[in-house]
Amino acid sequence: MEHLGILSLLPPLLIIFLALVTKEVIFSLFAGIFFGYLLTSNWNPLVAMIKLTDGIASVLSDTWNIRIILFTTLLAAMVGLFQATGAAKAFGSWMASKVKSRLGTLIVTWLFGIFIFFDDYFNCLTIGTVMRPVTDE
């Protein structure tokens, strides 16, 4: 395996830059991964694309990785359902009527983080979605 030195920092920097500019995380990740493969394939885009598809296939061939991807996707779909039905906004509005101070908002958000926790992914998705209207006020 060859060592690229300082050039190995370019893919993560590209991912961060693209994520901030485009606000599209998945696109940014794929672009950064492709750029990393481009670096390791001597700037040959065809070889980089073949390496990228082989890398994705090897990751998806592991059943544990498939379970994590499916679980996270289903949790994100459930949070999306909360948003689409208005449940998250209604709960946030109800909570905003109960909590009047900045400190109270932080404490309630912290408590929800403890009570809703059964998975780290679900916790972040749910608390962020539900408490955003409350903390934005």
Q: Model's pTM, two decimal places? A: 0.63
Can you give the pLDDT at residue 20?
96
Task: Reply yes or no on whether the pLDDT at 1 is more than 70.
Answer: no
Backbone φ/ψ region at 24: left (φ over 0), alpha (ψ -120 to 50), beta: beta
**What are the pLDDT digits (tens) for 76-113?**
888 888 889 988 778 877 887 888 888 988 898 888 88
pLDDT at 123: 80
Spacing of C-alpha 120 from chain mean position:
12
| Residues 95 and 134 sit within 8 Å (Cβ to Cβ) | yes
Q: What is the pLDDT of residue 19?
A: 96
Least confident of 19-28, 36-45, 125-134: 125-134
